[in-house]
Amino acid sequence: MGAKPVVLGAVAYDAKVVTIWDGFQRWFQGRGLPFDYVLFSNYERQVESQFDGTIEVAWNSPLAWLQASRIAAALGRRAEAIAMRDSDCDLSSILLVRASSDLARLSDLKGKRVATGAPDSPQATLIPLGHLAAEGLAPGTDFEVVMFDRLAGKHGDHVGGERDAARALAKGEADAACILDANHLLFSQDGTLATGSVRVLGRTAPYDHCNFTVVGAPSPGIARFRELLLSMRYADPEVRALFDLEGLKEWRPGRTGGYATLAQAVDRFGTIDAFVASVASRCA
């Protein structure tokens, strides 16, 4: 074994994750950075592993970022988002209804059935339900929530839950469906939703998605990892294949201003409080 590698954690929401990180591992190692990765089946295990030292940097969902940053705060430490994809910036969630529906405004959803993704999906559940709650519609009280839970613990990374929600809307099993903005065009183009069959009833404010999270002062290895990450170019064919799989055109410096909407939602629903308290107490 040579120098101590930078060890990254990622969640295996799809088989392609192995291809992606094997590829990045080769790329980093080819530039002299010892690098390894560990795959987790769920984000909670990954967040815990960052605090027990198994991994130094975590490729986190926005919900995992909130978990990690709050645990760090409870421990008197600081979490930092060191980089993210260009495609992680300024997303939104939308509420769809059938085009033929007479629902005209969000308040019309009172007493209706609203389809969502997995319970821990920021984009297809937490943020849109938070948006409705902010509009005065309490989930489960003012309207029924029909969750399509694919791969719990993966924070909605798998698109299957959203697709099931969209199908439920199309089939009339739900009155509205919550999905990521980009999936409207995707589902229209892949035939999940017939062209012109749905319309957008509401849209959330912009928010940010995944980031590379480190806790505490970055090591020299992490600094080099970030430097190399930001130097990757889509014109490099080795990088391009991995970017296409991971869904980005460039890495950007991390920013944390885009997580407030999700933070408000999880505060409202108490989604991560017990987990944060549990890990923080064990690590204290």
Partner 1 sequence: MRVDLGDLGFDEGGHLLLKRGLRSLPAGGEVEVAGSHPDLDLHLGTWCRAEGHRIRPATAPGPGRIWIVARGRADAARLEGAVPAGHADASRPEAVAESPPATWGLAARGALVEAGGPAFGFPLDRRIEVWSDDAARLYAQAVAAQWDPATAVPWDARFDLPDEVEDAVVQVMTYLVENETAALVVPSRFVAQMHPHFREVMQLLAIQAADEARHIEVFTRRALLRRAAPGLSTAGGQASLKTLVEEPEFPIASFLLSVLGEGTFLILLRFLAQHAPDPVTEAVTRLAAQDEARHVAFGLSHLRRHVAEDPAYRGRLSDAVRRRHDALRHTAGLNSLVFDALLVIAAGAWDTAALRRGNQRVMALLRDMDAGRRASLERLGFSLEEAAELSGLHTRNFM
In terms of Cα–Cα distance, which of 225, 208, 209 is closest to 56?
Answer: 225
232/57 Cα distance (integer angstroms): 18
Task: Name the strand (E) or helix (H) holding 39.
Answer: strand 35-40
Q: Token digits for 102?
A: 């007479």
- Site membership for partner 1, residue 203 (CB under 8 A): yes
- Site membership for partner 1, residue 182 (CB under 8 A): yes
Nearer to partner 1, 90 or 273 (CB): 90
Nearer to partner 1, 86 or 149 (CB): 86
Stretch that binds partner 1, among 76-84, 150-158, 233-241, 261-269 (CB under 8 A): 233-241
- Site membership for partner 1, residue 238 (CB under 8 A): yes
Stretch that binds partner 1, among 41-49, 136-144, 184-192, 217-225 (CB under 8 A): 184-192
Cβ-contact 139, 111 below 8 angstroms:
no
Distances (CA, A) of 133 to 9, 118, 158, 280: 33, 18, 25, 29
In terms of Cα–Cα distance, which of 257, 265, 272, 277 is closest to 81?
Answer: 257
- Site membership for partner 1, residue 231 (CB under 8 A): no
Q: Token digits for 229?
A: 């990450």
178/113 Cα distance (integer angstroms): 11
**Candidate list 18, 205, 217, 241; residue touching partner 1; CB under 8 A:** 241
Please report how many Cα atoms fall inside a 13 Å half-sphere around the Cα of residue 5, on the Cβ side.
18
Strand order of the β-sheet with 176-180 is 144-147, 113-116, 176-180, 93-98, 198-203
Q: Which residues, 78 to 97, sit near partner 1 by CB under 8 A? A: 86-87, 89-91, 94
**Candidate list 188, 219, 256, 264; residue touching partner 1; CB under 8 A:** 188
**Candidate list 138, 200, 205, 260; residue touching partner 1; CB under 8 A:** 200
Stretch that binds partner 1, among 111-119, 134-142, 163-171, 182-190 (CB under 8 A): 182-190
**Candidate list 14, 36, 173, 181; residue touching partner 1; CB under 8 A:** 181
Helix and strand numbers (H, E) in the chain are 10, 11
42/181 Cα distance (integer angstroms): 24
Task: Compose the 119-158 pattern: x for residues touching partner 1 by CB under 8 A, - for all others.
Answer: ----------------------------------------
- Site membership for partner 1, residue 205 (CB under 8 A): no
- Site membership for partner 1, residue 100 (CB under 8 A): no
Nearer to partner 1, 196 or 220 (CB): 196
Contacts with partner 1 by CB under 8 A: the residue count is 27
Q: What is the DSSP letter of 175?
A: S
Nearer to partner 1, 96 or 214 (CB): 96
Residues that bind partner 1 in the complex, under the rule CB under 8 A: 86-87, 89-91, 94, 181-182, 184-185, 188-189, 195-196, 199-200, 203, 233-235, 237-238, 240-241, 247, 249-250
